[in-house]
Structure 1
Amino acid sequence: VVQSVRCRVPPSVPPSAASPSKPVTQQSASGVWHTDEGDHPCDICGGSEQEHRLKVLFQVLDVNGDGGICVNDLTIGLKKLGVHRTEHELMKIVKAGDKDLDGQLDFEEFVHYLRDHEKKLRLVFKSLDRKNDGRIDSQEIMQSLRDLGVNISEEQAEKILRSMDKNGTMTIDWNEWRDYHLLHPADNIPEIILYWKHSSIFDVGESLMVPDEFTAEEKKMGMLWRHLVAGGGAGAVSRTCTAPLDRLKVLMQVHSSKSNSMRIAGGFAQMIREGGTRSLWRGNGINVLKIAPESAIKFVAYEQIKRLIGSNQETLGITERLVAGSLAGAIAQSSIYPMEVLKTRLALRKTGQYSGIQDCAKHIFQREGVAAFYKGYIPNMLGIIPYAGIDLAVYETLKNSWLQHYATDSADPGVFVLLACGTTSSTCGQLASYPLALVRTRMQAQASLGGGPQMSMTGLFRHIIRTEGPIGLYRGLAPNFMKVIPSVSISYVVYEYLKITLGVQSK
């Protein structure tokens, strides 16, 4: 758009008449806004060519001449220049540049938005230019999308190229890339990373997901840790809201059997009868406390493992992500596993058994020793691979399908698609790893069952199959699935609210 607005002041008009209030515009494919090649004076009006072009463009887009560009101005002004954008995209432009929150862009905000956006586009262009030759071809587009888990055909890649290629070379140089995207906030590939966050947003009570990818821009701008803090806060609220269902799941995993069938309504009634309404939240405190150390350790480990793998790409492929994410998850779980044991024991405790987290830890240490804090460790580690692998595979498959069939103007899937993908992938991951999670919970609880046999992982599997059949490995599955949709929904809403509070940018 900027390149189509050129400084064209007739020679007969004195420089003072070259005012942005009466611009003369001409659409041309040859005029390009070079912000990185110096600020040349305009040959005709004598002013700064770059500044003059910006003033001219601003005046063209400021349709009603009130000194501010609103969404309606952009819609009409861009149509005059032959550029068509959706209302959603134009709202994003105004929102991104509107520093004083008055619903429109004044000249200073307009210039700041364009310059800031061009810097981001430069980062994206460099990340796509794998050959470092200053041009992007179809193979580079295909490879970049493949690294993000999006597979497209060469024909689709060439279609993307043709939409930006002005000179018919079937390659895109920096000028073509910038001119196409400068007032188009939704067509650059890293938006797939920005919009399709998964483990940072959704919390279903299990922390076995592969960590999200973050763009170099997000890391550079300090948005990474704000995302993690927002995700941690969302997880805390989500887990607290669904804690009664989580405690019921633990009780059913440990106490339910063929001879002692526990139903959902009966389980809630039993908990309230034994300890009152507050007992529904037993074990929630430690479950919330472990979010921060686990998330931080997992993310740091993930970044270090990426370096050890030797990938110098901004994002990893699916297989590399699974390997790095699973190893990072194992490191994080190993670090905080005693908190997992404490959570199970606190959820199963009777009224008055422990006065709090510290008292529970003290009793376990005195009666069972340090080893008790790692009961169920092996099935927990083994459960990481099926959970993380299936969750990642299902989420990426759904994401790819949506991007290929519906992503016409934006990589933004919208709240309902994102929630549906997150819920489906989390449910599939939990279903695959659930038998291991049940055996882990029973091993963690063994010493608290009062004289029950202390069995190994394989012994416990055999015992459950022999006495209860395969269905015994899925005790507590109903309340576990019941909390997935509310968990995902609550964590998403809180995450979005905290993003705004913490100043996390969507772009």
Structure 2
Amino acid sequence: MFRFLRGLVLPEAACEEANNSSRYENLFKKLDVNEDGRVDIAELHAGLKALGIPLGRDAEETIFKTGDSNKDGQLDFEEFMQYLKDHEKKMKLAFKSLDKNNDGKIEASEIVQSLKILGINISEQQAEKILKSIDADGTMSVDWNEWRDHFLFNPATDIEEIIRYWKHSTVLDIGDSLTIPDEFTEEEKKSGQWWRQLLSGGVAGAVSRTGTAPLDRLKVMMQVHSSKSNKMNISSGLKQMVKEGGVRSLWRGNGVNVIKIAPETAIKFWAYEQYKKIFANEDGKIGTVERFVSGSLAGATAQTSIYPMEVLKTRLAVGKTGQYSGMFDCAKKIFKREGLKAFYKGYVPNILGIIPYAGIDLAVYEALKTAWLDHYASDSANPGVFVLLGCGTVSSTCGQLASYPLALIRTRMQAQALLEGAPQLNMVGLFQRIIANEGILGLYRGIGPNFMKVLPAVSISYVVYEKMKQNLGLA
């Protein structure tokens, strides 16, 4: 798309200085749809989209906020030209910071070297794929004109924000995965883009959980009730739940599961920012290992804060029809009969399960994505939606396999008080009891429906997330 833009309105470097004004004027005319000599936000949005450069509402607002010197809500040609001139100066500094040998071109080795200084390790093959996304003449190096044309309307102002752009648009491998909370630049925080992304993720999670709630409740029922003597499979479990409480009972406990998304996301985001500050080096940079540790600790912090809601979800899911009138009634009865400590039953195996899940999910996701980029990506560093969904599904499945026994122990500890005549065992006691009575396979009761919900959950989340981003101006 940037080659298209370059061909239309950006002449070659040889006459760049002489034609700057003409170049800006040609581009301005393409954006000024109604030919009134001014470009408003709607025209900018439509014009950039027509040129194949959809930035998203926040980026477009950033351009207006920076360029609209008289604050009239429109850009005249002088303001437009001044914004591009100032922006090109910033892009020139970023270009020079990457051009280590000062030969006027950026090569793959220079990208690897520059990112290594910032604590980000990538292979030369991945750096070449980044270059291909910018390289307009096929030389496998990027000169100033190609760099300027590619970032002409990207509101990034320095090399760190450009790296952020590469991370989002070309799936740069810097050690992030679904287990690590979102990171946002200062500009994204100031513009409000951070809360729009979190809101999009929260709504996507709510819809996804609701869509797969019957499988989630079935998993909990099989974890708690299934045994050698009481065999419960997917079909019999679903029939049993419908017979006991009707079709509506398949969603029992889903309300709590949805409600806890907001506080968990907010706490995880806040905690992640704090932990990153603790582990950052003197320059404020943070590496892959530190990012993973910060993310895991943030997850543990969030889980600690909202864990009572996890207990409520399990109790509601396992409870019989009419046993609880709702979440608050459930909480009141638990507190009255078992005391405050009941809201943290199963906490230890839950926290212990975060590290193997997050670590394996992260490692497998990055390994699969890197393998695809190294072996199958021909001219782009972007694997595409379906490849990423596949990597995420496989990595999540591997993470669940490793941490599932701890998840099962957690669920049984949360529900023990509801099982008449069952001893109230601790984590070690439950492990020993399950191994003795059911064998190793007993630690994986309910994993069938758990696996069944992974793909639809990921797919629903992605579709809703993208729709929400479009509606909130982030697409």
**TM-score normalised per structure 1:** 0.72
Coordinate RMSD, CA, aligned: 4.8
CA contact (8 A) 2:296 2:358 kept: yes
In structure 2, the partner of 1:426 is 396
Deviation of residue 264 (structure 1)? 0.4
Q: In the TM superposition, what are the counterparts of 1:281-292 in structure 2 within 5 Å? A: 281-292=251-262
Distance 1:439 1:374 in 2: 13
- C-alpha contact 2:130 2:380 (8 A) present in aligned 1: no
Hey, what's the Cα distance between the residues in 2 that align with 1:376 and 1:24? 63
Partner deviation per Cα, 1:455-506 (whole Å, 9 max, x = no partner):
11111111111111110110000000000001000011111111111111x4
- Matches of 1:355 and 1:117 in 2, distance apart? 64
User: How far apart are the structure 2 equivalents of 1:472 and 1:351?
Assistant: 27
Alignment of 1:114-153 (within 5 A): 115=83, 119=87, 122=90, 126=94, 129=97, 141-143=111-113, 151-153=122-124
Task: Point out the structure with max Rg over C-alpha.
Answer: 1
- 1:266-415 matches, within 5 Å, as 266-311=236-281, 316-407=286-377, 410-415=380-385
Q: What aligned pairs does 1:101-250 form with structure 2 within 5 A after superposition?
A: 115=83, 119=87, 122=90, 126=94, 129=97, 141-143=111-113, 151-153=122-124, 160=131, 177-179=147-149, 181-182=151-152, 189-195=163-169, 196=171, 209-250=179-220
- Which of 16, 20, 26 is the equivalent residue of 1:31? 16
One of 43, 48, 52 as aligned partner of 1:91:
52
Q: Is the Cα–Cα contact under 8 Å of residues 135 and 146 in structure 2 kept in the other structure?
A: yes
Contact kept? 2:91, 2:151, Cα under 8 Å: no
Residue-by-residue CA offset, 1:423-465 (whole Å, 9 max, x unaligned): 1111111111101000000011111112311111111111111
Aligned residue number for residue 448 of structure 1 = 418
Cα distance in 1 for partners of 2:383, 2:406 equals 33
**Aligned partners of 1:447, 1:229: CA distance in 2, in Å?**
36
Q: Structure 2 CA distance, aligned partners of 1:25 and 1:299?
A: 41
Native 8 Å contact 1:165 1:176 kept in 2: yes
Distance 1:120 1:494, change over 3 A: farther
Is the CA contact 1:257–1:472 (under 8 Å) kept in the aligned structure 2? Answer: yes
- The alpha-carbon deviation at position 311 of structure 1 amounts to 3.9
What's 1:77 paired with?
none
SS in structure 2 of the partner of residue 365 of structure 1: helix
DSSP 3-state at the match of 1:279: helix
SS in 1 for 2:14: coil
Deviation at 1:401, TM superposition (A): 2.8
Matched, 1:475 2:475: no
Letter in 2 for 1:194: H
The alpha carbon displacement at 1:194 in A equals 1.8
**Closer, same or farther in 2 for the Cα pair 1:28/1:491, shift >3 Å?**
closer
* 1:255 to 1:144, Cα distance in 2 relative to 1, 3 A: farther
2:220–2:317 CA contact under 8 A, matched in 1: yes
Alignment CA distance shift 1:253-1:229 (3 Å): same
* Cα distance in structure 1, aligned partners of 2:383 and 2:92: 20
Aligned partners of 2:428, 2:95: CA distance in 1, in Å?
Answer: 48
Whichever structure has more helix as a proportion of its residues is: 2
Give, in whole Å, the separation in 2 of the partners of 1:335 and 1:114: 49
Offset at residue 299 of structure 1 (A): 0.7
Listed as ranges, the matches of 1:64-83 within 5 Å are none
Distance 1:298 1:117 in 2: 40
The residue aligned with 2:69 is: none
2:374 and 2:92 map into 1 onto residues whose CA distance is 21
Q: 1:435 and 2:405 equivalent?
A: yes
Deviation of the 1:164 alpha carbon: 6.4
Is residue 495 of structure 1 aligned with residue 456 of structure 2? no
Between 1 and 2, higher relative CO (CA 8 Å, sep ≥ 6) is seen in 2
- CA distance in structure 2 between the partners assigned to 1:400 and 1:315 by the alignment: 23
Structure 1 residues 292-301 or 313-322, which shifts more?
Answer: 313-322
- Counterpart Cα distance in 1 of 2:10 and 2:431: 77
- Name the amino acid aligned to 1:413: P
Matching residue's letter, 2:406: L
Instruction: Note if contact 1:254-1:445 (Cα within 8 Å) is conserved in structure 2.
Output: yes
Q: Deviations over 1:354-384 (max 9, x none)?
A: 1111111111111111111101010000000
Structure 2 CA distance for partners of 1:164 and 1:440, relative to 1, 3 Å:
same
Residue type matched to 1:212 in 2?
Answer: D
* Bigger mean CA offset, 407-416 vs 131-140: 131-140
SS at match of 1:454: coil
Deviations along 1:12-39, one digit per CA (max 9) or x if unpaired, are: xxxxxxxxxxx9997443625xxxxxxx
- Counterpart residue identity of residue 373, structure 2: L
- Could you tell me how far 1:303 is from its partner in structure 2? 0.7
Flag the 1:215–1:404 CA change in 2: closer, same or farther, 3 A: farther
Contact 1:142 1:154 in 2 (8 A): no
Q: CA deviation at 1:139?
A: 5.7
> Which residue in the other structure is 2:65 paired with?
none
Q: Secondary structure at the match of 1:91?
A: coil
Once the 2 structures are TM-superposed, how far is the Cα of residue 51 of structure 1 from its aligned partner? 3.8
TM-score using structure 2 length: 0.77
Q: Following TM superposition, by how much is the alpha carbon of 1:396 offset from its aligned partner in structure 2, in angstroms? A: 1.6
Give yes or no for contact 1:192–1:412 (8 Å, CA) kept in 2: no
Corresponding pairs, count:
438
Taking the aligned partners of 1:295 and 1:245, their CA distance within structure 2 comes to 23
